[in-house]
Each structure stands twice: as structure tokens, then as C-alpha cells.
Amino acid sequence: MIKSAIMTSADITGKNGKPIVDQLLQPYNLFATDAGVVNPAVALNPGLVFDIEPNDYISYLCRLGYSDKQISAITSSSISCSSYPEQTDLNYPSITVSLDSKGMEITTRVLKNVGHHVSVYRVSVMEPPGVKVVVTPSVLRFSASSKVQNITVMFQGELGAGSSYASGFLKLTSKHNVVRCPLLLVSSSTGSSNHPTRSVW
């Protein structure tokens, strides 16, 4: 939750309001800036967080093909992958998708409200070039009795010729908070088709 708060509240521009630049004064790409520049004051009140439970990591490691023995060594407890549901992705505050010849991938995320009890967030997307991103639902409503909401993110299209990756971000905006989730799309030849929605941060 702390990592999510730091990433989703990070600044994606410099103090001058312009993109962060490198030593040649050219905008840095996503691999250099990651989620952005940490803003500790804003991170203290992130509004929404992408939470992950310990068992989610175990399920994901099982999905990646690690053996019971290897995972047991990591967790210092006896683990049997047959006892865990298949976890194809982690509920991480960034999304990486590998697009193959189909040009479509779908992933999900779960958002937990840790801000104002009654909040409405509207979703907008800075789409990666050449790819359409559809988020469902486009409006999230939270209350004291409804603190968790799921979203489905569909990517459709293909990267331009000669492009190995493209980036963008989701933005969820309420009256009090702005929550950003970086998006990274890689070509199927660059990414791993076995783990199409793994995160890189």
C-alpha cells in the first residue's frame, strides 16, 4: 500500500510543469522516470491504493513456474502450489502488457479507497500511440460500505512499425485526489507471451 501511494501520487512533470528531461534536454522515457518524481506530501493522502496480500505473491510465483520447494525457501514456510488459486497478474500500481498478433489484451485491477469515505473517481486515459485503452467502469463510486472497486482494462491495437514499446497512463480523478497508473505496452517479440500483464516497476 505504501509503494502504491508513492507511485500513484508521483509527479510526471518537473517544477516548470514540463516533461522531465535528460542531460540533452530531451524528455525522458518511461524506463528512466518510472512512475515519476516522488511527492511525499501527496503520497501521505493517496486517495486510492492498489493493495496486494502475501498470498497473491505466492499464487503469482506458482503461476510463473517456481517449484513448491523454491517458494517455501522464500517464505520460510511449507508451500504447496496446488492449494493456491492461479494468479496471472499482480494487483500492481502499474500495468505492462505484451501485444501479440491479436492486438488485444485484458487485465484487471482492484482499487481500495483509503481517502474520503464518500468519493467519486472518473477515469481518463493517456493512450499509448496506436493502441486504444478502454477502462470499465469509467466512474468509480466509493462509500463507507463500499471501499473496494474493480476495474477492467482492455488494450486493443498494435505498436507502430519499428516500435518495441509505447507508454501512457490511467488517471483516476476525484474532488480531492488524482491517482495515476503507468501503462507500458511492449511488442510480443519484446515481452513474454507467458506473462502478458506483468509489471516492471
CA distances from 166 to 27, 31, 125 (A): 14, 11, 14
- This prediction has a pTM of 0.82
pLDDT tens track for 83-137: 998 877 899 999 998 876 567 889 999 999 999 999 999 999 999 888 899 999 9
Q: For position 187, what pLDDT does the model report?
A: 79
Average pLDDT over residues 13-22: 80
Any idea which residue has 497473491 for its cell?
Answer: 56
H or E element at residue 54 = helix 54-63
CB 86 within 8 A of CB 63: yes
CB 139 within 8 A of CB 151: no
Identify which has the larger pLDDT, 26 or 66.
66
In the chain the domains, ranked by start, together with CATH numbers, are 2-52+90-187 (2.60.40.2310)
Q: For position 189, what pLDDT does the model report?
A: 63
Q: For position 201, what pLDDT does the model report?
A: 45
φ/ψ region of 164 (left if φ > 0, alpha if ψ in -120 to 50, else beta) reads: alpha
Average pLDDT over residues 62-77: 93
**Cα–Cα dist 179/96, whole Å:** 17
Any idea which residue has 486510492 for its cell?
Answer: 48
Q: For position 128, what pLDDT does the model report?
A: 87
Q: For position 79, what pLDDT does the model report?
A: 94
pLDDT for residue 66 is more than 70:
yes
CB 22 within 8 A of CB 28: yes
200: Cα separation from own chain's centroid: 9
Beta strands in the chain (DSSP E): 48-49, 95-99, 104-113, 119-126, 131-136, 139-142, 148-157, 165-173, 178-187
Mean pLDDT is highest, among 14-18, 52-56, 197-201, for 52-56
- Which letter does DSSP use for residue 81 in this model? G
pLDDT tens track for 156-197: 887 776 778 888 999 999 999 999 999 998 877 654 433 433
Q: Which residue, among 101, 54, 104, 102, has the nearest Cα to 79 in the 3D structure?
A: 54
Kindly state the percentage of the chain with pLDDT values over 90: 57
Mean pLDDT, the chain, integer: 86
